Amino acid sequence: MPVGTQGSVKAVSPEDLSDANVRIILANTYHLYLRPGHEIIDRLGGLHRFMNWTGPILTDSGGFQVYSLANLRNISEAGVTFQSHLDGSNHFIGPEEAMEIQRALGADIIMAFDECVPYPADYEYVLNSVRLTSLWAKRCIKHKKDSGQALFGIVQGGMYSDLREMSAKALVEMDFDGYALGGLSVGEGRETRQRVISETRNFLPDDKPVYLMGVGGPEDLVEAVMLGVDMFDCVMPTRNARNGTLFTSKGKLNIKNAGFADDKRPIDEGCRCYTCCNYSRAYLRHLFMARELLAYRLNTIHNLFYYSDLMEGIRRAIAADRMDAFRQAFYEDFG
């Protein structure tokens, strides 16, 4: 899922997303609550109509954004009181408020309110966080209206195996529509993250989607799929595009490289995206070095297409029962 924090995937239009074979996007509850406000979006017909996106939308609960405001928030059993990063005004979001905001936004998949713990964090702090997240999850289920929205619970527990197990089992008992692995990609190493994913996945049902939040690079997606993960979101394809880093079937390419100044080849000769079908590396480098806004759009279109194409290849490999071979071929090419 490309990240459309403010109801927009940066630098591209909904039509660009569709052309890049994007199937679903993520929008951010916290940011849309603060600006322009969920009531306004509701009055204007919901987020789909507001941003002219006809595909599915997932909204996160706002828990991660509150976590990032460590110096501007106060957590209690009731919920979180925090200051807006925009104007310093005071706000409160608890489980019930998170459900109301996401109902108003009209997303297809909504997330239970949770507490994302920092890394590293001591055991007692994480234990209390798991208990609070479970309590909030129950309140989210109780308060959720019959809106047709799928509600996912978020497994927390830091890097502690027993706390991840505790959190996962508690949420499974509540019978959510899907389960997310939260609190990862917050500074831990890749090996630690892989261990947590593998261990936690064992306690989640096979007949419900599993969503790894905030991850990651192409290799992270391949490895997590091997561990049984179904869904992902990450700013990497769009953010890297705006910084001049492009993903190709042969690895990463830095379009700022002086060697591309007169290179007439596309970014990736095997790519079928709009950018690769129409523009050379030389032109894309020129745009980027000149800080032309078109550079961000064309780069983003390519990276989104690469990620969509990677996931489509994974789906085909799973259907053909050849994921091991796909993984091997991926690393032989990508490096």
Q: Which sequence positions are flagged as catalytic?
A: 60, 233
Peptide bond into 14 cis (omega under 30): no
From the number of C-beta atoms within 10 Å of its C-beta (0-12, 13-18, 19+), residue 25 rates as buried
Task: Decide: helix, strand or coil at residue 245.
Answer: strand
Residue 129: closest CA among 107, 101, 104, 160:
160
Of residues 17, 45, 274, the one with CA closest to residue 3: 17
* DSSP assignment letter at 36: T
Indicate the SS3 state at residue 153. strand
255: which 2 tokens?
């379009």
Say if residues 186 and 118 touch (Cβ distance below 8 Å): yes
The C-alpha atoms of residue 245 and residue 256 are separated, in whole angstroms, by: 8
Find, among 152, 330, 332, 111, the residue nearest to 226 by Cα: 330
Structure token digits, residue 31: 């940011």
| Spatial separation of the C-alpha atoms in residues 219 and 182, rounded to whole Å | 19
Residues 7/42, Cβ–Cβ less than 8 Å: no
Return the bridge partners of 154, or none: 180
Alpha helix stretches (DSSP H) within 4-152: 14-19, 29-34, 38-43, 47-51, 63-68, 95-105, 123-143
- Which amino acid is residue 311, in one-letter code? M
CA distances to 93, 161, 230 from 84, in Å: 12, 34, 33
**∠ CA(152), CA(12), CA(182), 5° rounding?**
25
